[in-house]
Chains A and B, each alone.
Chain A
């Protein structure tokens, strides 16, 4: 096994060993969201013509779970390794910054995709959701998982204690995902908040992913994907730079 494959395997094994916490729990949370919001808002809101609210909600919830869990995977792995000190076993090896980065990001994508697939499968008995453009959905899922995986690395490297990590998650990741159009179309917002939403990269991930299901979106999917890929590229370069310089890893 190469160093990259080993780190990827270790990261997968790490979350798989606690799958109830890392996979099952977020799926259950997303299903609860669906049950509650769908129950309250069903019949009152029709975001896209001919699409009921429950169906509209499913891809958004799946993507939100994907993003949050991709972030949680890389960030929690790094902060735990740093706090317990076992990060040293990685630092002593000849693993390149690229291999390290790719392994953490890939594991984050896998966990995110597992959770989102679980959410979609879990909703099958509740609501019928079309799947018009699966390739688009897949592209946005991979790009979203990778972006949040990379962001998780940045947070994991930056945070020195669990409190700082919780702040990053609760004050940056959660608001950005909740205010990205998971529960609504931004066309239902006042113009000012529509404009603000366009500065939230998570919005393009949710909107593009939803396009994969309904073939309808607020923004053209090609434009969303371009923005997402540019964000991912910039974030990846930044993360690689942190690994190369040993930011908060090597004194």
Chain B
């Protein structure tokens, strides 16, 4: 009952230090049940450390972490039953076939007759032809799929995917997202870390950004993107020049024109007026939508300064 009512993930003031490196410096966040949550940040931001603490692979120096209401230390068995983790590293046991690997993983969770679900996973991950193949014989992409199947073999309500599409071809990536979205639709909570920000923007309802072990942004994806101040305008002029009054606003000069970063939409009119005044003819103009990458870059720069 506790598991049904509680949040999928609840992290409170978690700190973790590795030697002289403060990997997590007091992270607090909650992920509600059924969310598709993104955990973003540059390398070394603490994403994998946070996942490791939730999965019991690392112990926090301070703070508490809960999965489906179960403390990851005090109630580790229930916490681990509730959690499926797709690790970042492409690891496998070379002694076993795909089916043996999945049966063994089921058995660790005390599941005796799990072949129907294993067959379903093999089919959805396009591995049914490889069920009897030894893990060594699989390509990198296929090994990645087996990792996903292993994480799902005990039907955990909370699934963490640590950069699951790194080095994966487009076809598999798309198939994987269709599958993960389905799991999310059917009630599974998904936590995703990725360096592909378009993926995060398209999939995640809410996002936390980590930088140097701290949460520097935590909001719905839409709010994060919407909340980005300023506007970007790409314009190409016939003379390929701009009036001197606008040069300070140029954020990029590309072959297809200038990108002006203006404080707000109101400044667009002033910029156009300046162009008219200098008799510069506009060939093409486009107001660029801010995306998650802009938010990410801004947050990371802000956190640094």
Asked whether A246 is an interface residue with its Cβ less than 8 Å from the other chain, the reply is: yes
- Contact across chains for B57 and A3 when beta carbons are under 8 A apart: no
Q: Most chain-B Cβ atoms within 10 A of its Cβ — which of A6, A85, A91, A246? A: A6
Residues in B with CB closer than 8 Å to A251 are 18, 52, 57-59
Interface residues on A, range: 20 to 34
- Contact across chains for B77 and A94 when beta carbons are under 8 A apart: yes
Residues in A with CB closer than 8 Å to B52 are 251
Q: Most chain-B Cβ atoms within 10 A of its Cβ — which of A5, A17, A93, A246? A: A93
Asked whether A90 is an interface residue with its Cβ less than 8 Å from the other chain, the reply is: yes
Stretch of B81-89, B125-133, B283-291 at the chain-chain interface: B81-89
Which residue in A9, A14, A94 is a CB contact (below 8 Å) of B95? A14
Asked whether A241 is an interface residue with its Cβ less than 8 Å from the other chain, the reply is: no
- Contact across chains for B93 and A93 when beta carbons are under 8 A apart: no
Given contacts A86-B93, A88-B91, A246-B59, contact A10 B81 (CB under 8 A): no
Asked whether B13 is an interface residue with its Cβ less than 8 Å from the other chain, the reply is: no
Q: Which residue of A lies closest to B111 (CB)?
A: A1
Given contacts A6-B108, A85-B89, contact A250 B81 (CB under 8 A): no
CB distance from B234 to the nearest CB of A (A): 45
Residues in B with CB closer than 8 Å to A196 are none
Given contacts A5-B107, A9-B107, A94-B77, contact A250 B56 (CB under 8 A): yes
- Contact across chains for B77 and A250 when beta carbons are under 8 A apart: no
CB distance from A75 to the nearest CB of B (A): 16
Residues in A with CB closer than 8 Å to B107 are 1-3, 5-7, 9-10
CB distance from A22 to the nearest CB of B (A): 11
Extra 9 A-B pairs, beta carbons < 8 Å, given A7-B107, A13-B95, A94-B110: A2-B107, A17-B95, A84-B92, A84-B93, A86-B93, A89-B150, A92-B55, A92-B56, A94-B81
5 contacts between A and B (CB under 8 A): A10-B107, A81-B93, A86-B91, A89-B91, A95-B108
